[in-house]
Amino acid sequence: MRPASVSDYRELARRRLPKIFFEYIDGGSYAEATLARNVADMEAIALRQRVMRDMSKLDMSVVSLGQAFSMPIGLAPVGMAGMYARRGETQAARAAAAAGIPMCLSTVSLCSLEEVAATGTPPWFQLYVLKDRGFMRDLLGRAKAAGCPALVFTVDLPTPGARYRDVRSGFTGSSGLSGALNQAWGGITHPAWLWDVWAHGRPHTLGSVAAAVEGKGRVTDYLSWIARNFDRSVTWKDLDWVREVWDGPIVVKGVLDVADARDAVKAGAQGLVVSNHGGRQLDGVRSSISALPAIAEAVGSDLEVYMDGGVRSGLDVLKAMALGAKACFVGRAWAYALGAGGQAQIDRMLGTLRSELAVAMILTGCANVRDAGRELLDLGA
């Protein structure tokens, strides 16, 4: 199949990846109501078609936190992407650099931040706070030394959400001989993945935090390690602690409430990501796109407002821009593309998003994406 949309990359990834890894990308928490809302609420927003305007010149570029984006899209942090394609995070970093957009590296990536930075374009770095603050101080120092231009402090994972698909697939709760057999069967029945990732994509460890992980278990054991080691005591005061080591921009990720957004401003953040973690944490909360307008209106003049969740096309990007986002970060879209065939497929997927955004801009009469506002939406639909 020649992929034409994000849903096509999803299907290709489903075919190529062992079930445990596809379900980990694709699933959400509990009944996946919020996961569904992210997509459905975005689809329900209608664009306002306009005609007979000079659309011969389009400008998709934005500048945020001192960095130029060729289009208002970035790659969101995705955990364990190195299990979807060989050294997957480095492939994603090269694709982002080629497209002229930022990539944010997950704390729980297989490739270390130094390995990804060595591609030539240091990533934004996502920070989860572990209980071992001495290790965290060292990790922040490493991010600074690697030249990471922004720190994305993710605040909505004091504990992992319950993801039923991961239990059913054997990604979690499957140990001993049954767990080993489950992984072996997944590899044997997906030979292209087995050759690319299992045989030639090692080491299969969480590169940036490998020194903090006890022992050398299966990669699927790391979720239980996360549950034991992520720090539930983190508050807004901890941004002061981060600032002792990190002097660059801080973006707070995982905000859905206006009051929390205002607290991010008070804490001195330079940006925030309106996000429900892709529907992977607290199920039953609102979609990211429905939370975006009020947050952007309340704090958009004080810091940069981004969003993620439910972005499946360039049309969705323009909708989010019209509702106050400075840019959108896509997660599943690039994870599906990576799982479908590595950097080449991410390159193609980003080209699709760019083309879709161009069509949306032309047919709504928006020549400059930085001018996008609610006039682009048909609010009576």
3-class SS at 126?
A: strand
Taking a C-beta distance cutoff of 8 angstroms, is the pair 132, 212 a contact? yes
102 upstream amide cis, omega within 30 of 0: no
How many CB atoms neighbour CB 165 within 10 A? 18
Taking a C-beta distance cutoff of 8 angstroms, is the pair 285, 34 a contact? yes
The amino acid that residue 110 corresponds to is L
Taking a C-beta distance cutoff of 8 angstroms, is the pair 313, 290 a contact? no
Residue 355 to residue 323: CA distance in whole angstroms:
21
Taking a C-beta distance cutoff of 8 angstroms, is the pair 96, 75 a contact? yes
| Partner residues linked to 245 by β-bridges | none
Residue 277 annotated to the active site:
yes
How many CB atoms neighbour CB 14 within 10 A? 16
In 77-204, alpha helices (H): 88-99, 113-117, 133-145, 164-169, 176-188, 191-193
Q: Distances in Å between the alpha carbon of 169 and those of 177, 275, 347?
A: 15, 26, 30
Residue 136 to residue 244: CA distance in whole angstroms:
12
Catalytic residue among 190, 200, 204, 277: 277
Sheet holding 304-308, edge to edge: 73-75, 327-330, 304-308, 271-274, 250-255, 151-154, 124-127, 104-105
Q: Locate 244 and state its tokens.
A: 């002792």
Which sequence positions are flagged as catalytic?
277
